[in-house]
């Protein structure tokens, strides 16, 4: 490895090995990289690739029992193997780290300001009052409102975005030469993510620091990185300038990752690539290329020896692939290598009947689509209490404040917005099958407030199921897959013979091999666990599935396969999906219609093409603007709409338009118009009285639906001055 004279960081031949009961775990296998002052290097790859192990090794934070060899040079000094005292002098001063979860990274019993002050005093010979002034300046730099007051707040009093910005303030407190950001935006809303990325870029400019960005979001990489290193099975398998990697990747794994990315401006009906298989376990070693079992170009040579990282036909690009020159010569893309799977030819789906037998179920044609779920002026309030011994009611949380929604069979309605806007409350109110605070919830023509007997509730619940966000928490770790899938069948009285047949059918539906029936959740990958969760949800043959962020906890390649699976299941079974999410790139791909929520209210609705191409509400425009584009040139060229402030407290919602205090359009209005926004709540009104436009299911389906007189999507907006 050649290291430039201005390199802040130089990693050479880094190996990291852990001990485990099943043998040595090779987390890193000969990683080499360098990072210059002011440069941004992104490290991407699936879970288990070794990204976080690389960050911890550089920072000298590997756990006890880990063995590392190689070199980690910081400003020319090898830090690997140094004692903790020596490394502590470098950590925070020459290099700093921004962790993925700031809540667990901060000490809960100290104020945010105190923690920043301690970071300053650890490396600078100044008095505490000067350190406090510096901490307040840093909080202001990263966009924390009222920094003097917020200095004395505790971490739990900050929102997720504020905590992450405070972590950035702490990281740049001593003007480090290098910042390592480990998945800094993974758990954040898209608008908060945009704010944090803007703050991170601003902090990097202010300090001139080099940035090592570890992430799985290639959209973030497109806008933040100068160079990219793609990791697989503990080593870098491709490295290149960001534009080169996105336009001309030369490693099949990189090509597959790029093909798995949904985008807010992808064409209607766009199909994601599907990289089948799983990465090898870190304790499994083979003589060949680790990606060979998943690679469509693999040859006998790939299975016999592992390729070196060598130069390609592009300047400053290296790839670990024997076929890289063939990829260049044939200009292969993900459409050539990782085409989406063709839906399996399966027998008709079935559902359990009242008597416990199985009967065939007809797949709905477009002409027979009907309303399966309807919310009318639905309100869901929660009382707010104070006191432990003598509890008293002190207010009301306006979680959902009068919304109207309609879901038809065979369509996908996406409910989107920031955390705290009321999406999950709406979904839980529907699933609870109980009367809301006000208004009505009608499922398959039955008003849930009229349900009397347990049998009626059970019959209706069978038609309405959920797929949870976190498959680890959703599945009982003590039960094997067969029992997990059988559990809902037992609840609905399906007999043993029919139950076994249904389990086999469900495993085929979710494309899981039958050998996993005796496996426990801990023995499955994230994607396999989510397939089990989908199989459980489908066990009773429901008509409606509530999808609560079903892919947000998954790797990009696994996420694409689950999205493709959900598309296939809906096409075959005629399911209606209520998709709850904040990732608008995924929503663009899966949804027919979109409802945008803000602080308990619906502010805009319409079909996918209308919302994504002609958004009229400033909040919707800000959401779309915040989503990174997986195209470096376009991502760098566009201007983001950054929302100021935090989401207001739902226990004290603003008067008038609930968005007016954060609205980027408000400064352009005159005094009278601003007063109207502050005093008068806007009503949802139709702004585009046209029939159906092209839906996410394709132009042909849209025409058929429109001719049937069903999916007449209206574009409505709750704004006094829409665009």
- How far apart CA 107 and CA 387 sit, in angstroms, is 26
Residues facing residue 579 across a β-bridge: 414, 547
Q: Residue 713 — pLDDT band, cuts 50, 70, 90?
A: low
- How far apart CA 638 and CA 352 sit, in angstroms, is 52
Look at residue 348 and tell me whether its pLDDT is greater than 80: no
Look at residue 486 and tell me whether its pLDDT is greater than 70: yes
What the block records as the tokens of 265 is 């401006």
Extended strands (E) in 273-357? 310-311, 318-319, 350-352
Note the pLDDT tens digit of each residue in 497-507. 899 999 999 99
| Best CA proximity match to 521, nearest among 469, 468, 477 | 477
Strands 715-717 and 67-74: unpaired
| Best CA proximity match to 549, nearest among 595, 581, 597 | 581
Say if CB 49 and CB 229 are below 8 A apart. no
Position 205 scores a pLDDT of 86
The length of the chain, given as a count of residues: 723
Look at residue 92 and tell me whether its pLDDT is greater than 90: no
Task: Tell me 413's DSSP state.
Answer: E
409, HSE (Cβ side, Cα atoms, 13 Å) = 20
Say if CB 100 and CB 184 are below 8 A apart. yes
Q: What is the arithmetic mean of pLDDT over 635-640?
A: 85
Residue 147's CB is within 10 A of a number of other CB atoms, namely 19
Position 269 scores a pLDDT of 62
Look at residue 656 and tell me whether its pLDDT is greater than 60: yes
Strands 715-717 and 601-607: antiparallel
Q: Which residues contact 528 (CB under 8 A, 6 or more apart)?
A: 512, 516
Instruction: Assign 72 to helix, strand or coil.
Output: strand
Q: Per mean pLDDT, which of 255-269, 274-288, 517-531 is the most reliable?
A: 517-531
Note the pLDDT tens digit of each residue in 223-278. 999 999 999 999 999 999 999 999 999 999 999 999 988 888 776 666 788 888 88
Q: What is the arithmetic mean of pLDDT over 444-463?
A: 89
Q: Which of 98-107, 277-286, 632-641 has the lowest mean pLDDT?
A: 277-286
Note the pLDDT tens digit of each residue in 126-148. 999 999 999 999 999 888 888 99
Q: Which residues contact 715 (CB under 8 A, 6 or more apart)?
A: 604, 605, 606, 607, 610, 611, 614, 616, 686, 687, 688, 690
- First vs last Cα of the chain: how many Å apart? 54
Q: Per mean pLDDT, which of 215-224, 357-366, 641-650 is the most reliable?
A: 215-224
Q: What is the arithmetic mean of pLDDT over 19-42?
A: 90
Q: Which residues contact 687 (CB under 8 A, 6 or more apart)?
A: 616, 715, 716, 717, 722
Look at residue 692 and tell me whether its pLDDT is greater than 90: no
Say if CB 662 and CB 644 are below 8 A apart. yes
Cβ density class 163-177: b for 16+ within 10 Å, e for less: bbbbbbbbbbbbebb
| Best CA proximity match to 684, nearest among 722, 643, 650, 652 | 722
Q: Residue 300 — pLDDT band, cuts 50, 70, 90?
A: very high
Residues facing residue 491 across a β-bridge: none
Extended strands (E) in 242-333? 310-311, 318-319
Position 350 scores a pLDDT of 44
Residue 232's CB is within 10 A of a number of other CB atoms, namely 25
Position 128 scores a pLDDT of 94
Position 464 scores a pLDDT of 93
Say if CB 132 and CB 214 are below 8 A apart. no
Note the pLDDT tens digit of each residue in 585-636. 899 989 999 999 999 999 999 999 899 999 999 999 999 998 888 899 988 8
Instruction: Specify the pTM.
Output: 0.86
> Where is pLDDT greater, at 350 or 108?
108
Q: What is the arithmetic mean of pLDDT over 369-395?
A: 87
Strands 310-311 and 318-319: antiparallel
Look at residue 703 and tell me whether its pLDDT is greater than 70: no
Instruction: Assign 596 to helix, strand or coil.
Output: strand
Position 325 scores a pLDDT of 93
Query: Using CB atoms within 10 A of its CB, is residue 391 exposed (0-12), middle (13-18) or buried (19+)?
Result: exposed
Q: What is the arithmetic mean of pLDDT over 644-657?
A: 87
Look at residue 362 and tell me whether its pLDDT is greater than 60: no
Note the pLDDT tens digit of each residue in 178-227. 999 998 887 678 888 888 888 888 888 888 899 999 988 888 899 999 99
Extended strands (E) in 665-704? 685-688
Q: Which of 187-196, 461-470, 709-718 has the lowest mean pLDDT?
A: 709-718
- How far apart CA 701 and CA 570 sit, in angstroms, is 14
What percent of the chain has pLDDT above 90?
55
- How far apart CA 713 and CA 440 sit, in angstroms, is 22
Q: What is the arithmetic mean of pLDDT over 467-487?
A: 91
- How far apart CA 542 and CA 36 sit, in angstroms, is 56
| Best CA proximity match to 647, nearest among 421, 423, 425, 424 | 421
- How far apart CA 247 and CA 239 sit, in angstroms, is 13
Say if CB 221 and CB 44 are below 8 A apart. yes
What the block records as the tokens of 229 is 């290193």
Average pLDDT of every residue of the chain? 87
Please write down the long-range contacts of 382-385, taking CB distance under 8 Å and 24 or more positions apart.
384/651
Say if CB 549 and CB 581 are below 8 A apart. yes
Residue carrying structure tokens 């300090």: 207
Look at residue 365 and tell me whether its pLDDT is greater than 70: no
Q: Residue 353 — pLDDT band, cuts 50, 70, 90?
A: very low
């Amino acid at each position: 490895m050649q290291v430039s004279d201005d390199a802040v960081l130089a990693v050479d031949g880094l190996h990291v090995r852990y001990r485990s009961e099943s043998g040595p775990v090779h987390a890193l296998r000969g990683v080499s990289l360098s990072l210059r002052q002011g440069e941004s290097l992104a490290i991407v790859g699936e879970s288990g690739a070794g990204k976080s192990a690389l960050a911890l090794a550089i920072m000298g934070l590997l756990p006890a029992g880990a063995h590392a060899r190689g070199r980690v040079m910081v400003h020319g000094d090898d830090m690997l193997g140094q004692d903790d005292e020596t490394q502590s002098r470098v950590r925070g001063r020459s290099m700093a780290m921004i962790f993925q979860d700031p809540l667990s990274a901060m000490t809960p019993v100290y104020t945010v300001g105190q923690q920043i002050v301690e970071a300053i005093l650890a490396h600078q010979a100044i008095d505490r009052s000067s350190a406090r002034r510096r901490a307040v300046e840093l909080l202001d730099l990263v966009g924390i409102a009222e920094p003097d007051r917020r200095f004395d707040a505790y971490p739990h009093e900050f929102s997720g975005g504020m905590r992450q910005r405070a972590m950035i303030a702490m990281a740049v407190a001593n003007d480090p030469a290098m910042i390592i950001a480990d998945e800094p935006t993974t758990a954040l809303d898209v608008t908060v993510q945009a704010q944090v990325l803007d703050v991170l870029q601003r902090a990097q400019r202010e300090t001139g620091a080099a940035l090592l960005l570890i992430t799985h979001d290639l959209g973030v990489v497109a806008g933040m990185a100068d160079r990219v290193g793609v990791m697989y099975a503990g080593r870098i398998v491709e490295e290149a300038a960001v534009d080169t990697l996105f336009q001309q990747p030369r490693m099949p794994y990189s090509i597959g990752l790029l093909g798995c990315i949904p985008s807010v401006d992808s064409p209607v009906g766009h199909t994601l690539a599907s990289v089948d298989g799983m990465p090898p376990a870190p304790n499994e070693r083979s003589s060949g290329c680790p990606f060979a079992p998943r690679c469509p170009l693999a040859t006998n040579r790939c299975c016999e020896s592992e390729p070196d990282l060598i130069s390609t036909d592009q300047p400053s690009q290296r790839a670990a692939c024997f076929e890289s020159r063939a990829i260049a010569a044939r200009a292969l893309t993900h459409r050539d290598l990782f085409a989406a799977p063709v839906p399996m030819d399966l027998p008709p789906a079935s559902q359990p009947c009242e008597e416990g037998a199985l009967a065939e179920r007809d797949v709905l044609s477009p002409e027979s689509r009907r309303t399966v779920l309807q919310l009318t002026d639905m309100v869901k309030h929660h009382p707010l209490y104070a006191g432990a011994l003598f509890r008293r009611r002190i207010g009301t949380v306006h979680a959902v404040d009068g919304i109207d929604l309609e879901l038809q069979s065979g369509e996908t309605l996406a409910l989107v917005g920031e955390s705290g806007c009321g999406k999950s409350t709406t979904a839980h109110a529907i699933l609870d099958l109980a009367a809301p605070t006000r208004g009505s919830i009608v499922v398959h023509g039955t008003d849930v407030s009229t349900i009397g007997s347990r049998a009626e509730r059970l019959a209706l619940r069978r038609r309405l199921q959920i797929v949870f966000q976190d498959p680890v928490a959703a599945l009982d770790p003590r039960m094997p897959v067969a029992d997990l899938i059988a559990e809902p069948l037992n609840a609905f009285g399906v007999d043993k013979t029919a139950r076994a047949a249904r389990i086999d059918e469900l495993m085929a539906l979710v494309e899981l091999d039958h050998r996993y029936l005796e496996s426990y959740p801990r023995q499955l990958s994230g994607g396999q666990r989510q397939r089990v969760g989908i199989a459980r949800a489908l066990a009773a043959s429901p008509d409606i599935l509530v999808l609560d962020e079903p892919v947000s906890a998954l790797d990009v390649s696994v996420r694409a396969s689950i999205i493709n699976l959900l598309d296939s299941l809906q096409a075959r079974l005629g399911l209606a999906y209520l998709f709850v999410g904040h990732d608008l790139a995924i929503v663009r791909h899966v949804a027919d219609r979109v409802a945008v929520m803000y602080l308990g209210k619906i502010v805009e609705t319409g079909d996918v093409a209308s919302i994504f191409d002609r958004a009229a509400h400033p909040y919707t425009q800000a959401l779309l603007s915040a989503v990174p584009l997986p195209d470096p040139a376009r991502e760098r060229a566009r201007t983001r709409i950054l929302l100021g402030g935090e989401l207001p407290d739902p226990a004290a919602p603003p008067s008038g338009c609930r968005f007016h205090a954060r609205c980027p359009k408000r400064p352009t209005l005159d005094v009278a118009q601003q007063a109207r926004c502050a005093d008068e709540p806007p009503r949802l009104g139709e702004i585009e009285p046209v029939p159906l436009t092209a839906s996410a299911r394709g132009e042909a389906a849209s025409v058929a639906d429109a001719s049937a007189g069903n999916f007449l999507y209206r574009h409505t907006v709750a704004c006094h001055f829409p665009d």
